[in-house]
Amino acid sequence: MVHPGRAGGAGVTVVVPVFGSSSTLPDLVRRIHGALGGREHEVVLVDDGSVGPTWSTVGALALSDPSVRGLRLGRNAGQHAALLAGIRAARFDVVVTLDDDLQNPPEEIPRLLAALDAKDVDLVYGFRGVQAGPRWRRAAGDLARWTVGRLAGLDLQHLSPFRAFRTRLRDGAEAAIGPRVVLDAVLQWGTDRVGHVDVEHHARQDGRSGYGIRRLVAFALDMMTGYSTRPLRATTWLGFTSALFGMGVLTFVVGRYFLVDGSSVPGFPFLAATIALFAGAQLVALGVIGEYLARMHVRLLGQPTYVIAETVGGEAEGPAARAGVPDPVE
């Protein structure tokens, strides 16, 4: 079932990952309808293993509104896995994703859709350079985007959970990609035509963000080691640099002995600092290689990206609509 409005371009599926935010969902759905009232659309709410009344709220919304569907994952799989589940269930040609905390106002959705057509791109991010929230978190996010973008070879300068893209980009995620999926990398497997528009960014209305420093670092590592080999190349260069530095130290020590005063370099600090430098370089290299090996191990286990435990609303069509039966490609 879809929203009765049919004017104004291709249909839109709005995918919202939901985790413990039952209080904001009714207002969120109402505002999405208001923003897309003249356009055929649906809203897919994906409950990412929430505890509490969240699934009941999703069910009530889906049963009372034919344009809303709910998917409940069997366990918490992460924001990007929940998004992937909703995107695979999308029925329209364009997908919009946004969080459930109302930091990105749904009223900005038409601007993303307009940019998707006007700029002749396949993926548009709604980005605001000065975002609401703690300064340390904004700085950490900027650093993560810059670092990960450079190492992963992706356009992440304007990375945001507020996206609009053509549904065909999900074809890049048809294969079994295992857990710890990074949606932005998967989407950019299918296109390099990426744009952005400036949008409003409001303060969080309920709860607190689950993305602290630890999660941001984990996200950066997942992006770098899961979807690019550039960190391995950087590790190779680190090894060459360490070797060159070691040759320089050796030249200095031998040259001092033969050309200066016949004495060796004195002092324990010099020796300790040199050993620590080389040991650190070796540990970094082993850590990077270990990340790649761990990812290979997890993927060989065949662990699914997510498992859909229950659905509500809409017509029961397609793998994503069967309660408890995951898509075979997950």
CA–CA distance, 184 with 62 (Å, rounded to integer): 28
Phi then psi for residue 293, to 5 deg, are -65, -40
Which range is least confidently modeled, 168-182, 232-246, 290-304, 307-321? 307-321
Q: In this structure, which amino acid lies at residue 317?
A: E
Q: For residues 145 and 275, which has the higher predicted lDDT (pLDDT)?
A: 275
- Structure-token pair, residue 283: 């540990």
Concatenating the DSSP letter of every residue in 159-180 gives --S-EEEEGGGGGGG-S---SS
Q: Is the pLDDT of residue 55 over 90?
A: yes
| Averaged pLDDT, 248-276 | 71
- Scanning the chain, the segments in alpha helix (DSSP H) are 25-35, 54-64, 79-88, 109-118, 135-152, 183-189, 213-226, 230-255, 268-301
CA–CA distance, 136 with 195 (Å, rounded to integer): 26
| Averaged pLDDT, 190-214 | 72
**Nearest to 187, CA basis, from 144, 125, 103:** 125
Question: Looking at the chain, how many residues does it have?
Answer: 330
**152 near 231, Cβ under 8 Å?**
no
Instruction: Say which residue the tokens 């996200």 belong to.
Output: 219
| Averaged pLDDT, 317-323 | 38
Q: Is the pLDDT of residue 327 over 50?
A: no
- Structure-token pair, residue 7: 């004017």
The model's pTM is 0.72
What's the pLDDT score for residue 64?
A: 93
CA–CA distance, 300 with 103 (Å, rounded to integer): 38
